[in-house]
Structure 1
Amino acid sequence: MEKDLRINSKVFSEGSKQAPNRAMLRAVGLTDEDFNKPMVGIASTWSEVTPCNMHIHDLAVAAKRGAREAGAVPLIFNTITVSDSIAMGTQGMRYSLPSRDVIADSIETVVGGENLDGLLTIGGCDKNMPGCMIAIANARVPAIFVYGGTIDAGKHNGKNIDLLSVFEGVGELNSGKIDEQELRAIECKACPGAGSCGGMYTANTMSSAIEALGMSLPGNSSTPATSENKQIECDQAGRALYKLMEKGIYPKDIMTKKAFENTITVVMALGGSTNAVLHLLAIADAIGVDLSMDDFDRLQKTVPHIANLRPSGKYVMEDLYKVGGVPAVMKLLHEKGYLHGDCLTVTGKTLAENLQDAPDLAAGQDVIMPMGEPLSKQGPLVMLKGNLAPRGGVAKMSGVSVQTHTGPARVFDTEDAAAKAVTNNEIKAGDVLVIRYVGPKGGPGMPEMLSVSAILVGKGLGEKVALLTDGRFSGGTHGLVVGHIAPEAQVGGPIALLQEGDIVTVCAKRQEIFMDVSDEELNKRKANWIAPPLNKHGVLGKYAHNVSCASLGAITNYFD
């Protein structure tokens, strides 16, 4: 049985040619008995650069213990992380999305180079999760994902606060609503310890998405980082990986088109981050599933938004955990016919079988609204198209009462210039603030515009100014914003031809985004447009020359 599990590795226990391999492995603690067991990698994203990942080494040790006791030989190795929240508003933010591919490539490289038989990955901050999942797809061995968990809520003046409270506090300070002392108090209490940002921001969106995809154990996505259950989950995940190898279940057996439809449904119901569009497209591409923005558009029209979670709602992931977690939400969605119950999962069971054991939502809670009384009858992630975004853009409309906005374009080629204009009160109600040349190639790296959007909200302009960009938005962003505008400015997309004062309309109802400029005029502008030089230095240079359009998931292996 044990030898049958050695899917890719050399049979180290046999033959003199393997003596050098065995010698090296003995040095790391393997014995004669171990050479007859499957060897699995535990990919840890432990790091001290962010609270999202500061506790993950202990989780990797717990996962290693479970895999070892199940019968495997587990080996921990590390990869990098970049903290989006720390990088936000700085030049460092350009490295965030590229880190997704660095993480994916590094994990795949170790699995392939070491001929590992299975893979368990543990992610914390935003790009760890899609990075781990792309690696799982490309490694082609039995695999399972574990989420490091959400942070506990901060407490201030009897209210729950989180990192977004700090970003919005900057805008409140700028508009005179609070003073420096109050902002510092919020800053000091917003992030009390280990774990990923607490609302339905990108980290918790992606953890929920991966659970809905069937690639993590039930409940894993909503268990807080500091909970004792998180250690237990990691131990169980190590054991589950061994069972996947026993049963010959591969990621391709789990990550099917129907599984991705389940994932999009859960993301819409929870009011997840716009980044989910980008990351799910990339994961689907890696596993070979035909997924497009049209699939998001189709499901958005049918799935109600039922989660009262930040950034637009009241609660954080910790609150959802206390009332039943993501499994309880999925159970509700499945009962109402929104999920494909026959999809296989890493438990070896179908989604429907898993949900039989899931808890019901707690009575009397208001974290998740009744299906008959949703926050919105349609999902909040709206796909937009028009002459400003022929290949599409993504808006998050949760908590936004304004469905149509028309106004003059205020055009900026850098985030810094736009932020200064907002801070200096140069942007007025009714304006359409445009930040361009920050797309995948142009950034390069497609940085997030949370700082600008949060300042607008803090100044009371969140629904009075439309913010458009070929860059991204944080999962913590809310307000009248449209990101992922494609084609991006760097490649001559229409957003590059927009001029100061052009009238722009964003309409969520009609799913349109357009500028009141004739085709003839746009052609004249196009003839005079010159592309800025691409970055040629280091990892950002490599990324700029290889990355594809946001409408394809900003993947780096798209060869036209």
Structure 2
Amino acid sequence: MTRQLRSNFEPGTTRWAMRRAQWRAMGLTAEDEVKPKIAIVNSSSALASCFSHLDDIVGPLKAAIRSAGGVPFEVRTAAPSDAITSAGRAGQYILPSRDLIVHDIEVAVEGAQLDGMVCLASCDKTAPAHLMAAARLDLPTIVVACGYQATGRYRGEHIDFEDIFLRAGHVASGRLTVDELSEMSECAIGGPGVCAGMGTANSMHIACEALGMSMAGSTPVRANGDRMWRAVRRAGERIVELVTEDVRPRQILTADAFRNAVTTILAVSGSVNTLKHLQAVAVEAECAVDIAGLFEELAAQVPLLTGVKPNGDRHVDEFEDAGGTPALLKQLAPLLRLDAATVTGPRLGELLAGVEVADADVIRPLENPLARHPAIVVVRGSLAPDGAIIKRTVADDAPLRFRGPARVFTSREEGLAAIKRGEVQRGEVLVLSGLGLRGSPGMGLTSAFVFALDGAGLGEHVAVITDGQLSGLVNKGLVVGEVAPEAATGGPLGLVRDGDVITVDVRERTVDLLVDDATLAARRDRLPAPVPAVGCGWLSVYAREVGPLTEGATLGGRLPRSVATE
């Protein structure tokens, strides 16, 4: 060992004696006491198929760490699944669970003074949480993406979890029966792992590799496939080297790394949720980058190079077989910062030197893209001074300009009831207000409302604007999400009234409320004083402590002044 490990306490001290007694009872030897102590962060749960295979990964990963000269310790954290955890409080627990995982990791790993981490990433919130914890603790870390689930067949046609998510909104309108939806749900998922589309989970897995925080060639992968197991073994071996070499996340999570990640997400039309997650990682890393600003800057430069469902007709296994993230990065090389560091060891440019694209029709070259319009559009205007997000697909069949009268709802349930009663009219701009980080609290999920509109045949004939969050997997029609500042903190969205005219222009990247300043000022004066969150429940704590979206919605985190005040 070339350096002193922080986990090695001075013999004879109280801390040394207590640890020695505990670990000897667990079978560790005197030789183990001085080896690198590696946390295996396992967000496992029997509640959802996303996590159902993680426990089986721990044993082989432990073996790889031991063979490399380290001592592994499994650490458990919260394990939120959007499909399961969203049932309570209208989905308000989903985003706050990300930060709960970060705190779980901090307590276990920092409290025990371990030397490094291998994090088993699965569903949507685990990968960003692992990156945030790595950046906060600045300990040698590798994030292992544990793969996407197998899909199924329904009456001879391909089906996956995305289809279930979308089609559920068709039942209320009579376009699909409960029995049909039930039959579909029985065959949509064929095994463990994350949703098999380009949702938040696969997007963040890809972002981990683009950032340099996952082993090269490890995303996306089939859950329990050969590539996943190779990545597990390589990560177990490499983490001990990273500890020995003292290679830390903040050496990797640089401005260039974040630029590369944003470029990559734009090229795959990744999840809109990557904006707030990458910004949160940057805040934890104390790296002065503005993620939304990068999306705005790079939007016109980065074409769509692949069309993985729901953005196009390809499936994620086709993307993997075409070369996955390394092949995508190879095609993007002229736009990337190739000197960026990686946990694999070589710089990004060196890693890409030997990469070949197996299928250039699935992962296109820059000169022959699927589309040239930006996949994720940050819009601003009088209704969203701090920005909002629109997702575009390869086909991009949603209207690019929309002008109409507002119909305001203050909850998802209120909006769903109006759709069911047939009150929503074509040409309206539907505003779901008060669903932001503090107003919800936790940022309410609005996807059920969007899918219900699609099921009612209204998806292409209305626009939706909300300070709530959108599905990272699939959205339909023209939807403007994550409006900032949110209504609960005095944002203009809270001043909209039924009948107000709103305009959205995707090409111009604007979203405006056409109401004069005097009227808005009078409305603001009549607003009731905000009611502070009380109690010690997690959502109450979150509501009191969460920062704005522009700072990643982290708890108490702040961007460096040079970025935060721009």
Q: Secondary structure at the residue paired with 2:93?
A: helix
Deviations 1:81-114 (A, max 9, x none): 1111224465251011111111001101211111
1:465 aligns with 2:465: no
Q: Unaligned 5+ residue runs, structure 1?
A: none
Deviation at 1:405, TM superposition (A): 0.8
- Per mean C-alpha deviation after superposition, the further-off stretch among 262-271 and 349-358 is 349-358
For 1:384, the aligned partner's letter is: V
The equivalent residue for 1:348 is 345
Contact 1:383/1:393 (<8 A) preserved: yes
Q: 2: CA distance between counterparts of 1:89 and 1:508?
A: 32
Correspondence list, 1:158-557, <5 A: 158-292=156-290, 293-334=292-333, 337-362=334-359, 365=361, 367-398=362-393, 399-401=395-397, 402-478=399-475, 479-537=477-535, 538-557=537-556
- Per mean C-alpha deviation after superposition, the further-off stretch among 25-34 and 225-234 is 225-234
Contact 2:331/2:364 (<8 A) preserved: no
The equivalent residue for 1:33 is 31
Contact 2:466/2:482 (<8 A) preserved: yes
Match of 1:73 among 44, 66, 71: 71
Q: 2: CA distance between counterparts of 1:346 and 1:178?
A: 48
Q: 1: CA distance between counterparts of 2:338 and 2:426?
A: 47
Contact 1:153/1:161 (<8 A) preserved: yes
Deviations 1:488-508 (A, max 9, x none): 111111000000111111111
Q: Secondary structure at the residue paired with 1:468?
A: strand
Contact 1:89/1:451 (<8 A) preserved: no
Deviations 1:188-247 (A, max 9, x none): 111222010111000001001111000001222211113133122112101111111222
Q: 2: CA distance between counterparts of 1:39 and 1:92?
A: 40
Contact 1:8/1:116 (<8 A) preserved: yes
TM-score w.r.t. the length of structure 2 is 0.94
Deviations 1:26-58 (A, max 9, x none): 112210111121111111011111111111111
The equivalent residue for 1:58 is 56
Contact 1:172/1:455 (<8 A) preserved: yes
Deviation at 1:19, TM superposition (A): 2.5
Tell me: CA distance 1:475–1:194, structure 2 relative to 1, closer, same or farther (3 Å).
same
Q: Unaligned 5+ residue runs, structure 2?
A: 559-563
For 2:218, the aligned partner's letter is: N
Q: 2: CA distance between counterparts of 1:250 and 1:105?
A: 19
Q: 2: CA distance between counterparts of 1:524 and 1:530?
A: 13
Contact 1:120/1:146 (<8 A) preserved: yes
1:140 aligns with 2:135: no
TM-score w.r.t. the length of structure 1 is 0.95
For 2:92, the aligned partner's letter is: R
Q: 1: CA distance between counterparts of 2:330 and 2:455?
A: 37
Q: Secondary structure at the residue paired with 2:503?
A: strand
Contact 2:431/2:466 (<8 A) preserved: yes
Q: Secondary structure at the residue paired with 1:454?
A: helix
- Per mean C-alpha deviation after superposition, the further-off stretch among 71-80 and 294-303 is 294-303
- Per mean C-alpha deviation after superposition, the further-off stretch among 220-229 and 493-502 is 220-229
Deviation at 1:157, TM superposition (A): 2.6
Deviation at 1:66, TM superposition (A): 1.1
Q: 2: CA distance between counterparts of 1:384 and 1:235?
A: 43
Contact 1:400/1:463 (<8 A) preserved: no
Q: Secondary structure at the residue paired with 2:238?
A: helix
Contact 1:254/1:343 (<8 A) preserved: yes
For 1:165, the aligned partner's letter is: D
Deviations 1:498-554 (A, max 9, x none): 001111111111110011101111111111111442432301000001111112211
Deviation at 1:300, TM superposition (A): 1.4
Contact 1:11/1:35 (<8 A) preserved: no
For 1:395, the aligned partner's letter is: I
Deviations 1:359-405 (A, max 9, x none): 31325x4x334433433313211111111111111111224331111
Contact 2:86/2:92 (<8 A) preserved: no
Deviation at 1:453, TM superposition (A): 1.4
Tell me: CA distance 1:118–1:90, structure 2 relative to 1, closer, same or farther (3 Å).
closer
Contact 2:90/2:445 (<8 A) preserved: no
Tell me: CA distance 1:284–1:507, structure 2 relative to 1, closer, same or farther (3 Å).
same
Q: Secondary structure at the residue paired with 2:380?
A: strand
Contact 1:491/1:531 (<8 A) preserved: no
Q: 2: CA distance between counterparts of 1:122 and 1:154?
A: 25
Deviation at 1:186, TM superposition (A): 1.3
Q: 2: CA distance between counterparts of 1:85 and 1:501?
A: 35
Q: 1: CA distance between counterparts of 2:126 and 2:422?
A: 37
- Identical columns (%): 35
Q: 1: CA distance between counterparts of 2:289 and 2:528?
A: 33
Contact 1:6/1:117 (<8 A) preserved: no
Tell me: CA distance 1:101–1:278, structure 2 relative to 1, closer, same or farther (3 Å).
same
Contact 1:108/1:136 (<8 A) preserved: no
Two-structure CA RMSD over aligned residues (Å):
1.7
Q: Secondary structure at the residue paired with 2:351?
A: helix
Deviations 1:112-170 (A, max 9, x none): 11110111111111111111111111112111111111111222133222222113222
For 1:234, the aligned partner's letter is: V
Q: 1: CA distance between counterparts of 2:82 and 2:4?
A: 38
Q: Secondary structure at the residue paired with 1:188?
A: helix
Contact 2:321/2:358 (<8 A) preserved: no
For 1:141, the aligned partner's letter is: L
Contact 1:170/1:183 (<8 A) preserved: yes
Contact 1:409/1:431 (<8 A) preserved: yes
Q: 2: CA distance between counterparts of 1:356 and 1:154?
A: 37
Q: 1: CA distance between counterparts of 2:122 and 2:192?
A: 10
Correspondence list, 1:91-110, <5 A: 91-110=89-108
Q: 2: CA distance between counterparts of 1:248 and 1:440?
A: 37
Q: Secondary structure at the residue paired with 1:174?
A: coil
Give the number of aligned pairs. Answer: 553
Contact 1:222/1:325 (<8 A) preserved: yes
